[in-house]
């Protein structure tokens, strides 16, 4: 009888541990770069989705075109995966880690339909990248939480950006 209770208790503990591990990995974490990109890290699906922040869009201006590299492209850290041509500025969007492009957001093929949307919405990503080596994101210096990103660039969110001095705003 005691043996059955111990086995039952052991199974319950194992199930609870397994459940807690699954809950942990279902979380998507959003990080920000100093280049005004956001990255949603989905550890369960082993993918990341990269987009541009609202401040990044404010700096670049209305996007006229986004040239995104093809699916399957292998990228090293700091390689451009897209070039965004905006009203005021042309910007390269880069990945912070070595990875591969798994897919791209087809909405960016018709940019005009997306301009009025919130670019920080989780559905407004440019590319989906491979997160097979999840540990490399933990080693990347400069990735910011939303709180740290907003605090670091707080003064610029409030400014009326003058595009003749764009270098002062883009990478701080």
Which tokens is 171 given? Answer: 């990478």
Per-position pLDDT tens, the chain of length 172: 544 544 444 444 444 444 444 444 457 889 999 999 999 988 888 899 999 998 888 888 888 888 999 999 999 999 999 998 888 889 999 998 899 999 998 877 665 545 555 667 777 889 999 987 777 777 777 889 999 998 888 876 665 555 455 455 444 4
Q: Give the pLDDT confidence score for residue 133 in this predicted structure.
A: 79
Q: Give the pLDDT confidence score for residue 10 in this predicted structure.
A: 41
Task: Decide if 104 contacts 128 (C-beta within 8 A).
Answer: yes
Q: Give the Cα separation of 66 and 51 in Å (integer).
A: 12
Written as one string, the DSSP assignment of the chain is -HHHHHHHHHHHHHHHHHHHHHHHHT-EEEEE-TTSEEEEEETTTTEEEEEE-HHHHHHH-SEEEEEEPPTT-EE-TT-EEEEEEESS-EEEEE-SSSEEEEEE-GGGGGGGGTTTS-TTSTT--SEEEE-SSTHHHHH-TT-B-HHHHHHHTHHHHSS---GGGTHHHH--
Domains in the chain, please, with CATH? 2-170 (2.40.50.100)
Q: Give the pLDDT confidence score for residue 117 in this predicted structure.
A: 59
Record the pTM.
0.73
Residue with tokens 């990109």: 37
């Amino acid at each position: 009888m005691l043996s059955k209770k111990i086995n039952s208790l052991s199974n319950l503990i194992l199930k609870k541990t397994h459940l807690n591990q699954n809950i942990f990995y279902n979380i998507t974490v959003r990080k920000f770069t100093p280049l005004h990109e956001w990255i949603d890290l989905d550890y369960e699906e082993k993918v990341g989705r990269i987009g541009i922040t609202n401040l990044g869009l404010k700096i670049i201006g209305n996007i006229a075109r986004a040239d995104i590299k093809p699916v399957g492209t292998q990228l090293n850290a700091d390689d451009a995966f897209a070039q965004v041509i905006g009203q005021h500025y042309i910007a390269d969007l880069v990945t912070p880690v070595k990875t591969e492009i798994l897919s791209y957001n087809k909405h960016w093929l018709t940019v005009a339909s997306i301009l009025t949307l919130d670019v920080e919405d989780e559905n407004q990503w440019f590319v989906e990248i491979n997160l097979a080596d999840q540990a490399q994101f933990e080693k990347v210096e400069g990735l910011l939480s939303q709180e740290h990103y907003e605090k670091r660039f707080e003064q610029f969110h409030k400014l009326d950006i003058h595009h003749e001095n764009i270098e002062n705003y883009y990478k701080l």
